[in-house]
Structure 1
């Protein structure tokens, strides 16, 4: 039962991590400057810097949680 709960949390975390990464704008001014990031389109250009900072911090938190959950799933799955 614990394995199933951890696996469900891992899947939710992975989906959230993918969404958060896709919302971030690119660092280069090449193709991403023409297309712009998802955060700028959703939240406006003035808020993009603040939103990018929040998205970056949330990415770090979700990535750490992903690794912890992956280790826990492999440990309790045995």
Structure 2
């Protein structure tokens, strides 16, 4: 079981690093909350864009990493 969680941590950490590095920077900062750039917050093609896919991959990899680390620690 330890080997399984170790492999999961390795794969998820590599995918997490790559997905974070491939994401574009956000210059708007908190401007999207104030309504200065509504197209970036609720964009027309937000769900199908490359950035949305990278964001999903990042979230999934982080969740797998967290669960694997907790499983390895137990």
- Alpha carbons 2:19, 2:54 under 8 Å: kept: yes
The residue that corresponds to 2:52 in the other structure is 53
Poorly superposed stretches of 4+, deviation over 2 Å = none
The residue that corresponds to 1:15 in the other structure is 14
Gaps of 5+ in 1: 30-48
Gaps of 5+ in 2: 29-47
- 1:6-45 to structure 2, matched below 5 A, reads 6-28=5-27
Aligned-pair CA distance for 1:15: 0.6
State the TM-score, normalized to the length of structure 2.
0.68
Q: Which has the higher contact order (CA 8 A, sep 6+)?
A: 2
State the TM-score, normalized to the length of structure 1.
0.65
How many Å separate the matches in 2 of 1:65 and 1:5? Answer: 12
Instruction: Work out the number of aligned pairs and report it.
Output: 55
The residue that corresponds to 1:72 in the other structure is 71
